[in-house]
Amino acid sequence: MIIDNLKTPYYAVVFSTILTDNVEGYEAIANKMELLAKKQPGYLGVESARNSIGVTVSYWSSLEAITAWKNNVEHIEARELGRSKWYKKYRLRICKVEREYGFEN
């Protein structure tokens, strides 16, 4: 699903990943983190896709909301598990979205 009801400015956290061969339990934790993020103040939505590279973009109202999510205890535990077990490589980028436009047919 493409999120199309956001009002600028807002923030996007772009999380790009390459997984290891050991993905046991990954999907369950990823789903749990998505549900938990939805409960966080300032959370606006998420878009995600995975092929050989996974890309998840979460949208937030402020940098403070992003920091609060980063410091969530369950998120910290999942992040450590990801580093030790599931991720071969990842990159996280935080962007301020000042303008957007789209098309729908």
Is 10-97 CATH 3.30.70.100? yes
Write down the pTM of the prediction. 0.93
| pLDDT (0 to 100) of residue 58 | 98
pLDDT in tens, 33-78: 999 999 999 999 999 999 999 999 999 999 999 999 999 999 999 9
CA 66 – CA 18 distance, rounded (Å): 22
Segments making up each domain of the chain, as ranges: 10-97
Q: What burial letters (b/e) apply to 16-45, b meaning 16+ CB within 10 Å?
A: ebebeeeeeebeebbeebeeebeeeebbbb
Mean pLDDT across the chain: 96
User: Phi and psi of 86, rounded to 5°?
Assistant: -100, -30
* pLDDT range class, residue 1, cuts 50, 70, 90: confident
